[in-house]
Amino acid sequence: MGKIFNCPICNDALNSEHYCVQCDRDFDTEVIKNAEGSLTDAQIEQQDYVDVSCFYLIKQFQKDAAYNIEHVAVIRDALIDVLTEFYGQSSYDVYPWLLEPEIKNAKTKKQKPKKKIFVLVKMFQGIHDGIELFWDEKESEKAYRKYTGQDYPQDGDFEEIHEDFRDSIIVLVKIPEK
């Protein structure tokens, strides 16, 4: 029974020296520190820098704001989303976390399939009108039909959709397991 670590950037398995060939990056220091239950000093500094920066942003708009980790976390999560989605940064590099090994063993259970979620983005006359989330594709299509009065176009052609609802879409999002 051995421990296998996945790269926090690309999710490929690290080799025995905790090196990711895909990313050309060494994670040996992180893995050793993580075994002790802590982050490296540089990772702690990075987390502190991000949290302090987020709190500073709050203070720019609310001078008398007291430090509240829940408020900071909301800004931090949004910042991570923007940096990863629009600037291609790795969430691990922005706000590092402990690497957890997978235990390799002949009797390991099969991995559960990744969950999917369907997001109905409601638009009416070009104005955002809300979002609904569904675990089931049929339920999401029923909601689309109820909201727009039309069937979801299987071919993705929205030209036949009434112009008031043309921007309403159902998006399939895969939720990574934690």
- Tell me whether residue 39 is in a domain: yes
Q: State whether 94 and 13 are in the same domain.
A: yes
Which pairing describes strands 102-104 and 2-4: parallel, antiparallel, or unpaired?
antiparallel
Give the model's pLDDT for residue 100.
84
Give the model's pLDDT for residue 125.
62
Instruction: Kindly list the distances between the CA atom of residue 118 and the CA atoms of 3, 62, 152, in Å, as whole numbers in the listed order.
Output: 34, 36, 13
Domain that holds residue 38: 2-104
- Tell me whether residue 109 is in a domain: no
Give the model's pLDDT for residue 153.
62
Q: State whether 14 and 94 are in the same domain.
A: yes
Tens-place pLDDT, residues 102-155: 765 444 444 444 455 555 566 566 665 666 665 666 666 777 667 667 776 666
Show which of 60, 78, 104 is a domain's final residue. 104
Residue 9 DSSP symbol:
T
**Total domains present in the chain:** 2
Q: State whether 141 and 67 are in the same domain.
A: no
Q: State whether 129 and 71 are in the same domain.
A: no
d(CA 87, CA 169) in angstroms, rounded, equals 25
